[in-house]
């Protein structure tokens, strides 16, 4: 039977179709010869669907083998030989004898093919599968660089295919080469292009985060590089992961210039992590504080009270200074800086200054150390100059002022108190804060000296003689003088006549005729005022002064000018709900109660009105006058009523006399007389009624 050979690319059929085609081919005539193209050998057209085999059958005859080696016509009309065919190997097909489907030999295409038993096949599958790794997405694996392109690195992780990693992820490895081992993460086992997707960047980030979490839990120190500055701090690269370094955690000292740290590699401690967003906070300050704490424990363990140490002024505050003792700080309080009075530590100390200090006290638990500087020198009271004794005249500078006096510094660490009672011989109270000024120098007398208690009392007034010893000679009673108003109180005015000598003018002794609610209405502090000496209290060092006594008492004359019942013009100067003050002539003031301020029309007298007032009370001893406006118009009405009453009374008396005269002349009354008498009687009754109403 003639065998046909065709290219496998010209047809794709199943074995069932092949069987049918082979059966049909034997009933057909000799296949038509295809006209071969020029310079190509003719090839017979297949009339039956061939059965493909992987290689030529071994039992072909010489003629069949020769035909199999002939050129084969391709579907496009071209011919080629096995030796020149560049695509899949040549396939051989054999026309099968006509047979039924059930009798078809399905193994006809497996000739010269080795077959394995099931157990052998399973064994070889296992061996073959063992050459590959089982990987999972997001898994971290070690791989080797097996190739490099312009954009990617080819990584072999032992999988059935190699993966690609962009060279952008090797910026920290500019010299990457074939054979280098790296760690990568499996992003996708097969992306949309069928490639294995790997990432070195994600692997580094995942490994770095795991390391940071471990370091956070163990408290180990990590090393990182500060890459850039951000708001509130710096960005630190720790094993390829960006972490945040707050500005407050850079150093134990405040840092204002962050740029100086960019690019530096430093040690850090992970102080905070956020698993959700994979964010970490690191601190360099924590490491410094840890070192300081260790040094502090060592130093405090070696401290003893009274021990002298060398230190450096670290920080000066209002209350003292912190001294660095070489890893541990101690406090030098302001009162322990100098035996003298120090207003502010900067007067003696400055930052960076080196000095020796003595340990006064320390607390192991609280880690506090109290230091002293003045204790390195003897106390000044122990070396007080011999000339400083009671009664000696000394000079000092005002270093402190209190309500009760001022402290004068005689020498650093030695102070004396000038009490307010020792400032002046005057008995008037002295305000120390007004008399003294800080920094002023004053001369004083040492009154008392107690070296054991380290106290000294001073006096300024004892620099001069006591003027009160001869007060009667210079300021006799009733003598007149001019003084200066030093102080004003609600009850009087204090006047200084000379240094150490003064007295008070009571408010009632300011004026004879005017009453003042407050002395400030009459005089001001600093004004000059003439006074008369009223009395002297030498024992209590007091003078009673008067101002109105410079003139005669005008009330002797006022008693005749303003008798009770007299009416005078007056102006209302002040008014309240109780009454009003009325200004009379000669500047005299009177008072009118509210009930005496009613007008004739029912209204009330108002302020600044000028009206007639009647004197209803005059008290010469208390210098008091009371007046009334109501009495003025009430008196006029009373006078009018009295005049009407007197007139009615006179008419009544006249009528009575006329009746008596008539009765005496007429013995018997007539009807006309009776009528006349009745009219007279009615007139008399009317007069009596009018008189009664007038009263």
Residue-wise DSSP of 255-269: ----GGGTT-EEEEE
Query: Smallest Cα–Cα separation from 506: which of 521, 491, 495?
Result: 491
Give the number of other Cβ atoms within 10 Å of residue 136's Cβ: 8
DSSP structural state of residue 33: P
Q: Is the dihedral of CA 671, 673, 676, 681 positive or negative?
A: negative
Contact present, 126 and 160 (Cβ < 8 Å): no
- Give strand ranges (E) for 334-469: 354-363, 368-372, 393-402, 405-411, 414-419, 441-450, 455-459
pLDDT at 33: 41
Contact present, 541 and 475 (Cβ < 8 Å): no
CA distance to 143, 296, 316, per residue, from 359 (Å): 64, 15, 18
CA atoms within a 13 Å half-sphere pointing along the CA-CB vector of 638: 6
Give the number of other Cβ atoms within 10 Å of residue 41's Cβ: 12
Q: Identify any residues that bridge with 199 across adjacent strands, giving them in sequence order.
A: 185
Contact present, 74 and 80 (Cβ < 8 Å): yes
Query: Smallest Cα–Cα separation from 614: which of 592, 583, 638?
Result: 592
Considering the chain, what percentage of its residues have pLDDT values greater than 70? 77
Give the number of other Cβ atoms within 10 Å of residue 659's Cβ: 15
Give the number of other Cβ atoms within 10 Å of residue 296's Cβ: 18
Chain position carrying tokens 């004794």 = 389
Query: Smallest Cα–Cα separation from 140: which of 198, 189, 216, 192?
Result: 198
Contact present, 571 and 609 (Cβ < 8 Å): yes
pLDDT at 332: 92
CA dist 395 and 253 (Å) reads 46
pLDDT at 658: 72
pLDDT at 233: 92
Query: Smallest Cα–Cα separation from 354: which of 317, 323, 330?
Result: 323
Contact present, 495 and 485 (Cβ < 8 Å): yes
First to last CA, the chain: 183
Residues of the chain with pLDDT under 50: 1-93, 671
User: Can you state the percent helix, strand and coil of the chain, rounding each to 5?
Assistant: 30, 30, 40
pLDDT at 426: 72
- In the three-class reduction of DSSP (H, G, I as helix; E, B as strand; rest coil), residue 263 is classed as coil
pLDDT at 406: 93
DSSP structural state of residue 434: H
Output the pTM of the full model.
0.38
Q: For residue range 347-392, what is the model confidence (pLDDT) as tens digits? A: 889 998 999 999 888 876 666 889 999 888 888 888 888 888 898 9
DSSP structural state of residue 604: B
Contact present, 627 and 582 (Cβ < 8 Å): yes
Q: Helices 630-665 and 671-694 sit at what angle, rounded to 10 degrees? A: 160
CA distance to 38, 483, 682, per residue, from 689 (Å): 181, 74, 11
pLDDT at 539: 81
CA dist 413 and 340 (Å) reads 4
Q: Identify any residues that bridge with 305 across adjacent strands, giving them in sequence order.
A: none
- In the three-class reduction of DSSP (H, G, I as helix; E, B as strand; rest coil), residue 601 is classed as coil
């Amino acid at each position: 039977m003639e065998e046909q050979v065709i290219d496998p690319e010209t047809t794709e059929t199943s074995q069932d179709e092949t069987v049918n085609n082979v059966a049909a081919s034997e009933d057909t005539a000799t296949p038509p010869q295809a006209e071969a193209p020029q310079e190509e050998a003719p090839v017979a057209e297949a009339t039956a669907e061939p059965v493909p085999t992987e290689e030529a059958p071994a039992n072909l005859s010489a003629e069949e083998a020769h035909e199999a080696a002939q050129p084969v016509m391709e579907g496009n009309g071209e011919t080629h030989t096995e030796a020149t065919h560049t695509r899949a190997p040549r396939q051989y097909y054999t026309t099968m004898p006509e047979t039924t489907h059930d009798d078809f030999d399905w193994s006809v295409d497996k000739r010269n093919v080795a077959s394995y038993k099931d157990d052998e096949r399973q064994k070889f599958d296992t061996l073959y599968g063992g050459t590959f790794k089982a990987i999972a997405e997001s898994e971290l694996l070690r791989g080797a660089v097996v190739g490099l392109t312009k954009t990617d690195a080819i990584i072999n992780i032992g999988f059935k295919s190699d993966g690609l990693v962009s060279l952008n992820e090797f910026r920290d490895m500019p010299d990457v080469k074939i054979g280098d081992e790296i760690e990568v993460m499996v992003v996708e086992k097969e992306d949309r292009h069928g490639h294995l997707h790997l990432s070195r960047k994600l692997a580094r980030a995942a490994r770095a985060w795991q390391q940071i979490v471990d370091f956070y839990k163990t408290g180990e120190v990590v090393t990182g590089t500060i890459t850039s500055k951000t708001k509130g701090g710096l960005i630190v690269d720790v094993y390829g992961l960006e972490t945040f370094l707050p500005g407050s955690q850079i150093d134990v000292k405040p840092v204002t210039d962050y740029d100086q740290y960019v690019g530096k590699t430093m040690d850090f401690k992970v102080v905070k992590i956020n698993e959700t967003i994979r964010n970490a906070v690191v601190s360099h300050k924590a490491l410094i504080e840890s070192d300081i704490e260790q040094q502090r424990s060592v130093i405090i363990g070696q401290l003893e009270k009274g021990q002298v140490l060398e230190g450096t002024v670290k920080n000066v505050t209002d209350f003292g200074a912190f001294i660095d003792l070489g890893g541990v700080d101690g406090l030098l309080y302001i009162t322990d800086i100098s035996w003298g009075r120090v207003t502010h530590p900067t007067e003696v100390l400055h930052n960076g200054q080196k000095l020796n200090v003595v340990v006064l006290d320390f607390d192991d638990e609280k880690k506090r150390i109290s230091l002293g500087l003045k204790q390195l020198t003897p106390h000044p009271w122990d070396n007080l100059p011999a000339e400083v004794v009671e009664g000696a005249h000394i000079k000092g500078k005002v270093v402190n002022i209190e309500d009760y006096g001022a402290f004068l510094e005689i020498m650093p660490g030695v102070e004396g108190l000038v009490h307010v009672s020792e400032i002046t011989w005057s008995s008037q109270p002295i305000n120390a804060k007004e008399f003294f000024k800080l920094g002023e120098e004053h001369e004083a007398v040492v009154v008392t000296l107690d070296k054991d208690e380290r106290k000294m009392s001073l006096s300024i007034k004892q620099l001069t003689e006591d003027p009160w010893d001869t007060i009667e000679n210079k300021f006799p009673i009733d003598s007149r003088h001019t003084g200066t108003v030093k102080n004003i109180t609600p009850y009087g005015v204090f006047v200084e006549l000379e240094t150490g000598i003064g007295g008070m003018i009571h408010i009632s002794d300011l004026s004879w005729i005017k009453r003042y609610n407050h002395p400030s209405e009459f005089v001001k502090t600093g004004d000059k005022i003439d006074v008369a000496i009223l009395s002297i209290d030498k024992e209590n060092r007091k003078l009673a002064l008067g101002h109105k006594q410079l003139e005669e008492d005008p009330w002797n004359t006022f008693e005749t000018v303003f008798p009770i019942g007299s009416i005078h013009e007056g102006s209302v100067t002040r008014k309240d709900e109780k009454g009003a003050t009325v200004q009379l002539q000669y500047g005299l003031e009177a008072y009118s109660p509210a009930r005496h301020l009613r007008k004739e029309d029912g209204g009330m007298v108002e302020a600044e009105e000028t009206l007639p007032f009647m004197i209803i009370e005059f008290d010469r001893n208390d210098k008091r006058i009371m007046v009334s406006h109501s009495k003025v118009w009430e008196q006029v009405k009373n006078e009018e009523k009295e005049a009407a009453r007197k007139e009615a009374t006179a008419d009544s008396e006249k009528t009575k006399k006329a009746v008596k005269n008539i009765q005496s002349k007429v013995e018997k009354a007539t009807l006309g007389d009776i009528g006349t008498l009745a009219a007279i009687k009615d007139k008399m009754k009317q007069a009596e009624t009018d008189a009664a109403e007038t009263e």
